Every structure is written in C-alpha cells, then in structure tokens.
Structure 1
Amino acid sequence: MAEFPEGAPCWVDAMFTDVEAAKEFYGDVLGWTFGEASSEYGNYTQAYSDGKAVAAVVPPMPGGDAPSQWCLYFASADAAATAEKIKAAGGTLMMEPMQVGPFGTMAIAKEPSGAVFGVWQPGEHKGFEKVGEAGGYAWAEVFTREPDKADEFLAQVFPYGSQQMEAGDDPEMAGMDFKVFSVGGPENAVLGRMKMGDEFPPEIPSYVQVYFAVPNCDEAIEKTKARGGALHFGPMDSPFGRFAALTDPQGAAFAVIDLSTTVGEMPKFG
C-alpha cells in the first residue's frame, strides 16, 4: 500500500475503559470487525472494515484516567524531527516519540489552542487500508476557539498549503470561519479547521473531530442512540455529504458522513 504523504491523516485509535463495549458499539454502528488483542502492546486491538484495517481500540494504560477520545495520527517520515517542529511551533509533546516494535514510531502532542493529535512514522504498519468508503476514515477537522494559533502551528509543523472558505451568499455560511489544509496542492485537501462559536459550551476544549464514512447517516444515528450514544449535531446535508456529530456511550466524540448523499454547490475557497 502506498505511503501517506507528510502531514496526511494516516491512522486513528481510541482508549476505552470498556473495550468490549466499544467493540460492540462500533461493530454495530460502523460495521467493524476486530482482530485479536495484542497483549505485547497493551491489548491494542485493530478494527477492520471488509477485512481492511481502519482503526484501533485499546484499554487505558495502568493508572491512566484519560477520557475516552479518538486520536488522529498524521504521517511523518521522521517522528523525532516532527516532534522538534511541534515544540518549536509552540505545541506540547504529551508523549515523546516511541518506537512500537516493527510497526512504526508514534508521538502524541497538543497544538497551542489545545487539540490533541498523534504523529505516526510508519514501519510495517502503514496506516489506513481503506479511506473514503463506508466503514473507513473519511475526513477530520480541528475545532478551535483560537484559529490563528492553530493555523500558524499547523503550517509550521507540516508542509501544508491552506485555503479559507468564502462565505458567499449562503446565510448558513455567514460568520463561519473554516479553512482547509492541503498537501501537494489545493486539490489534495487533508484537514479542515473550524472556529468554535458560542454554540460550544465553554468547558469543551479544542479537539479533532474524526469523520467515519457510513452508507446511511440516519441509520448510523439511530444505531448510536439505541446503544446509548448521543446525537449532538445534525443530521445535516452538505455538498460533501450528509453528516452528524455524535458521542459513543463512553463519551468519545466522532462524526459520521454519507459521502454519496450530497446537496448544494461546493463552497469556494480563496
């Protein structure tokens, strides 16, 4: 499988106090199956869609009390060098680069406005084996109250170009501050950045919203609610697909998007 370019999202995982419950939930909502837990690596368990690796779940480390949340990893040819860029750009390393057997090298960091993300230097594990198809990773956005801080940081750490969305005549777009980051040209968008408004309670910190593709957004919402999860936004039609923001029963936020159901004209970016 082709390597992911520098700065492109390449993997996602989450810690869950109750891993078995998480497997049941995502197995139902996203159609995932799961491999054997790797006891050598903290019972890290990969998730698959149609036999292709799409994510992983893992129990907290002993003594850890971090909330359940999805962590998006960005590809790096040299995790140690990326870690230095993170520090130089005002970010914080929460986990220094650490080799994970023959699979690769990981680091966990926080950008200056508070969103947590990962860095992955691939070894044997290249990352997603399925992207942009039902059951797989589709997209991600950094939600932040301090977009200037986040924008400057991302541009310093990764080789991104960026384009700001123009509001145009759509009243729903009025006042929206949304930027897209790309690798190798604007046609290769890899990440969005959304300014958080007053609709977000002040106790919610900056975060990375991960979107998983589903064949039917409304069915995924109903399955989420039936299993004790919650709907926070949507469902909403867009030129990119019909999507909704959810949390699972253990509190991890995620979003689903039906990429085949598109409504409206694509916004302009300048």
Structure 2
Amino acid sequence: MIFYKTEEEIELIRQGALILGKAHGEIASLIKEGVTTQVLDKRAEEFIKDHGAVPSFLNYNGFKYSLCISPNEVVVHGFPGNHALKSGDILSVDCGVYYKGFHSDSAYTHAVGEVPEEVEKLLNVTKESLYKGIDKAVAGNRMGDVSFAIQQHAETNGFTVVRELVGHGVGKNLHEAPEVPNYGKRGQGTRLQEGMVLAIEPMINLGTRNVVQEDDGWTIRTRDRKPSAHFEHTVVVRKGKAEILTTFEYIEKAKKA
C-alpha cells in the first residue's frame, strides 16, 4: 500500500531532511586518511540527537549503528568499526533521520585522497544517474521511467547496476511501498502520483553487477570485489519536476573547506 503525503507531512520530512543533510556535512568534514569509520558513526549519532531527531538506522531490525558505512567493494549495509581510511579508498555513507514522526534517507560516496581515474568516473556517473532518475520522478510517469533512466546512464558509461537492492517509499516507516528499482523498462511499473515520497538510490558497480551477503547478515559486497558507489536522495513526486527534500549542499561545502 502506498501512503501519499500531505503538504504538512512533506514539510516535516523536509525539516528532518535538513538535519540529515547537515549531519552528512559533519561526517564529510571528518573523512580523511587515518580516521576510523567508528568515529564517523559516533559523530552522526551525536549530531542527529543534538538536533532533536533520532538516527533512523539505529536499532532498526537489530542494526547497531547510526550509519551504514560501506568502503570500496562494500555496496551497502556495512558496519562502522576500526577500519582506518586510507588514500585511494571510497566510502559510501548512508544515513537516515527520524523527526516528528517521519523518516528521511540519503547516501553519498566519498573519495578519500586520490582515487584511480576509473573509480572517480564511477562516483561521478553514479551521482549523475541519481539525478537522471529524479528527473523522471514526476506525476504521470511510471516507475520504469525512473529505473530506465538510471540504468541507461550507468550502463552507457560501462558500469553495472545492482539488481538485488532497490530504493523505496519513505515516510512514517523507513521503508514503504513502492520499490524503486535501478533498472527497468520505460512505461512500466507503478504510475507516479503527487504526494509520493521516494528514496531513489542507485548502487552502481565498477565490475560485474553480482553481489554477495557476508555472514554478518547485513554487509553486501560485490562478488568480484571491485568498487561500488551509492548515492541517494529523498524526493517528492510533483507535476513537472520532482522536489528533492534531502541535500548534498553541506557535504559539498565540507569537501571544499
């Protein structure tokens, strides 16, 4: 069942998404060689709670952290820990905020120091594919239009799309209907209507699209252990143009500082 959001509910999601965007900025400012991913998780939890919100992921189905931290070949759902970042790493940071009854969700993949040219291209194309998908998230289109736009951009640039993991609706629950695949056919799937709030999140691999789940029951990595990138925004379907509720503004500012 799809829950359509009122303007008042969308405003609450927008407010939470601003806290989330600022939390991402705090995390981005700490990402450098030698920092452990545990430090990033602790800062995220503190920042979100200090702003009157709750980390969406903390204790979600037994997950013990505020961030999903996924380095290099880890696609999603990685655990923060004692892993110290080094130059050449990439790091996907996925975070959610629960504020005044509603969730928001976003992710960003960071380069640590200098990364190979092909990996930098992977990050750029994955981010671009997110916005290609968002461009199609308008009332009257179908979910397949969003999915196809993401898949086409990724594959045209020589990368592959993870198929086992999808975006999702978001609202009072962190994961709601409908699913938002990152591959598909134009003109197929759920018809998009105003008031749908979606977490659109391409997960794109440098090598093959195949993934495996580690024994911890959470961590998803590429089968060939080649890098994977992940970018995500929470958006609301509108007529003519989708509205992006989350923001990368504070990440970009931190990276320039």
Taking structure 2 as the reference length, the TM-score comes to 0.27
Compare the two structures and name the one with the higher strand fraction: 1
Compare the two structures and name the one with the higher helix fraction: 2
Relative contact order: is structure 1 or structure 2 higher (C-alpha 8 Å, sep ≥ 6)?
A: 2
Query: Max radius of gyration: which structure?
Result: 1
